[in-house]
Amino acid sequence: MSKATALQASIKRTIAISKKNTKIYYMKPPVIIFGLLFPSVMFLAFIIGRGLEPAQLTPSILGVAVLFTASAVGPLISPWERMMKTYERILTAPISLWNNIMGDIISGFLFGLLISMVPLLAGWLIFGTQFTHIIPLIIALCLAVFCFSALGSLISALPTELPTNAMMLANLIRFPLIFMSGVFLPLQELPEWAQIVSYISPLTYAVDLFRWSTGEGNFINIYLSYFVLIIFIVIFVYWGKIAHQKAIKVLY
């Protein structure tokens, strides 16, 4: 088999995994709760009683939506399939771990991107948010969604057959990220120690890019933010692969 044919087959398999996930997991209760309901509740919590213009909140809401929606599907897939004993079907099939992980990430990415369009469009059409850098915003959005989808896939490598365990771990990671990433307050308004802590969160760079895209100004150099998001993607994907390999060894 030539390299081109092998690559084509590999892409087809990844798409097949992604399609299967789309059909099965988008409507699962944990995905609806954390991917749809939670960002909606967060939006209301932000907007009610704070006396802020909704347009000002668009980058924050977008950040929360991206984090929660993109990482909603990933943590569910592998534990659910282990519980339902369909994971063995994947392991016996001619699919590499890469195909499987990328299929999971892509399905999380598409879900995150789709749902993130809601606050984006609402900000633009209803609240009148001005997007001053459309193309960079789209790139930032795609990178951020891919990054958090990869994080979701990494969480799903937890060697468990109980989806609730993975969802708990996901929340344990996601909630602190919201508070340490300049979502509620712009980074420049955070104390110095909080600013330092915020640098270890990929959400910090995503929200800063969203703010810059709406003309609010950036705290971190935009090229650095793009670069760091890419670095986080690479780390999550490779760490995810190693963690999934370990999980297979532990569980089987």
Binding map of other proteins across residues 231-250, x = CB under 8 A, - = no contact? -----------------xx-
Give which of 46, 210, 198 is closest to 116, Cα–Cα: 210
Smaller CB separation from other proteins, 13 or 211: 13
**Among residues 9, 45, 114, 126, the one that binds other proteins under rule CB under 8 A:** 9
Residue pair 60/207 in contact (Cβ under 8 Å)? The answer is: yes
* Residue of 133, 140, 137, 142 whose CA lies nearest to 106: 142
Per the CB < 8 A criterion, the answer to whether 162 and 245 are in contact is no
**Residue 62 identity:** L
Q: Which member of 179, 199, 227, 252 binds other proteins (CB under 8 A)?
A: 252
Q: According to CB under 8 A, which residues from 171 to 210 bind other proteins? A: none
Cα dihedral 227, 233, 234, 240 in deg (nearest 10):
160
Interacting positions 98-157 with other proteins (CB under 8 A): none
Rule CB under 8 A: say whether 162 interacts with other proteins. no
Q: Which is nearer to other proteins, 23 or 50 (CB)?
A: 23
Q: How far is the CB of 248 from other proteins (least distance, A)?
A: 7
Any contact of residue 96 with other proteins (CB under 8 A)?
Answer: yes
List the alpha helices (DSSP H) in 122-221. 134-155, 163-180, 192-198, 202-213
Q: Which span (71-79, 94-102, 129-137, 215-223) binds other proteins, by CB under 8 A? A: 94-102
Contact between 155 and 68 under an 8 Å Cβ cutoff? The reply is no
Q: Do residues 137 and 116 make contact, with C-beta atoms less than 8 angstroms apart? A: no
Please give the residues from 19 up to 58 whose contact with other proteins meets the rule CB under 8 A.
19-20, 23-24
Can residue 94 be called a binding residue for other proteins (CB under 8 A)? Answer: yes
Q: Which of 7, 12, 114, 185 binds other proteins (CB under 8 A)?
A: 12
| 27 Cβ neighbours under 8 A, 6+ residues apart | none
**Interaction site with other proteins (CB under 8 A):** 9, 12-13, 15-17, 19-20, 23-24, 84-86, 88-89, 91-96, 248-249, 252
